[in-house]
A and B are shown apart, each in its own frame.
Chain A
């Protein structure tokens, strides 16, 4: 294995994603090659910034409370009610958004309209499919003038179709 073959494998190696058949020759190369070894070391550094935060504090009685609400018919969809299906709730949320801060009127409107046009997420299939578009919508909303690197479109558009198919398979 030479450096040209080794380097693309390094991230997968660090993430434990290589098969033994891929990892063994890479390890051998790393032993012999200081350049690739230092790249591997650098790759490990980032993980050291993602430290475990320690145990979470769960509010007392949380599980019982959730179970009670579930039994009472609360579906947890408060944020996802589309106007046509649940005009009351959706509209109220919308109006609240508008009146909260008068200065935010235009922003609230645009958020509201984006929201309405998103697919309703009411089953697992919808979940699978909408997650990626939810991410994109978020980034679209926060889009900086320059946008993503030019590779992103070419690199990601085929996967939307694939996600679609995966969604249908399930």
Chain B
């Protein structure tokens, strides 16, 4: 997640010293990443914009409490994740989408394999299917999968963001992947390994 931390640190100092233009620069530096992050959680463009905007506004108002102990982006990422989850909660993410069938829980072992998608599908189709499957997973699993598989965060970064141990990241990721595969097969039996 590190990216030119010295530049960020100096921009942060400038904002705190009253230079508003520097805040806009920080937004410009990270807006693409936050839009990218947020669209893993909702596909609605208006919602995405609202969430990213609120993330930056919160960052601005909390900037005096930023301690430079993590990178600015790590700090921002945490606010973003919190804002996203808060938003989903207010919205009352449909229980129907999160319901799992009773057999699912017993099939925790990564028994059934899945096939690779690339041979048969366009990129957009893969994205659609993957997000469709992710929407069906409990939030604790969906979040680690997004952080690890889409955002490429290291275990330590996931642990820091969620405030959990590395051991929990590992076990949760393991279960999340098993659940993803299982749900994919359930929704699209064609992708089960023969």
Please report the C-alpha to C-alpha distance between residue A140 and residue B143 in the assembled complex, in whole angstroms.
Answer: 15
Residue in A137, A147, A148, A151 whose CB lies within 8 Å of B89: A137
> How many B residues, CB 8 Å from partner?
89
Type the 1/0 row for B106-118, where 1 means its CB is closer than 8 Å to any CB of A: 0010100111111
- Chain B residues with CB under 8 A of A162: 163-165
B117 touches A48 (CB 8 A): yes
Take A74-B57, A144-B100 as given contacts and tell me if A132 and B24 are in contact as well, using a CB distance cutoff of 8 Å.
no
Type the 1/0 row for A76-91, where 1 means its CB is closer than 8 Å to any CB of B: 1111100000000000
Task: Tell me, rounded to whole Å, the shortest Cβ–Cβ distance linking B75 to chain A.
Answer: 7
B55 touches A48 (CB 8 A): no
Type the 1/0 row for B21-40, where 1 means its CB is closer than 8 Å to any CB of A: 10110011001100110010
Take A69-B57, A124-B66 as given contacts and tell me if A139 and B139 are in contact as well, using a CB distance cutoff of 8 Å.
yes
Assess whether A103 is interfacial by the CB under 8 Å rule.
no
Please report the C-alpha to C-alpha distance between residue A135 and residue B100 in the assembled complex, in whole angstroms.
Answer: 17
Assess whether A31 is interfacial by the CB under 8 Å rule.
no
B170 touches A134 (CB 8 A): no
B36 touches A134 (CB 8 A): no
Query: Closest residue to A122 on the B side, CB-wise?
Result: B62
Assess whether A40 is interfacial by the CB under 8 Å rule.
no
Please report the C-alpha to C-alpha distance between residue A51 and residue B181 in the assembled complex, in whole angstroms.
Answer: 15
Residue in A46, A69, A141, A170 whose CB lies within 8 Å of B92: A141
Assess whether B190 is interfacial by the CB under 8 Å rule.
no
Assess whether A20 is interfacial by the CB under 8 Å rule.
no
A49 touches B98 (CB 8 A): no
Assess whether A142 is interfacial by the CB under 8 Å rule.
yes
B87 touches A79 (CB 8 A): yes
Assess whether B173 is interfacial by the CB under 8 Å rule.
yes
Interface size class of A (residues with CB under 8 A): 35 or more
Please report the C-alpha to C-alpha distance between residue A86 and residue B173 in the assembled complex, in whole angstroms.
Answer: 38
Please report the C-alpha to C-alpha distance between residue A170 and residue B69 in the assembled complex, in whole angstroms.
Answer: 8
Please report the C-alpha to C-alpha distance between residue A16 and residue B156 in the assembled complex, in whole angstroms.
Answer: 12
Most chain A CB within 10 A, of B45, B56, B154, is at: B56
Query: Closest residue to B55 on the A side, CB-wise?
Result: A76
Residue in A54, A66, A123, A166 whose CB lies within 8 Å of B53: A66
Please report the C-alpha to C-alpha distance between residue A37 and residue B160 in the assembled complex, in whole angstroms.
Answer: 32
Residue in B57, B105, B162 whose CB lies within 8 Å of A146: B105
Assess whether A47 is interfacial by the CB under 8 Å rule.
yes
Assess whether B20 is interfacial by the CB under 8 Å rule.
yes
Can you add 12 more A-B contacts, CB < 8 Å, to A53-B36, A56-B39? Answer: A49-B126, A58-B31, A62-B49, A70-B20, A74-B57, A76-B83, A124-B79, A132-B163, A135-B162, A136-B140, A138-B89, A141-B93
Instruction: For the complex of A and B, list the 6 residue pairs with the smallest distance between their C-beta atoms, beginning with the closest.
Output: A76-B57, A163-B163, A142-B98, A76-B54, A50-B149, A70-B60
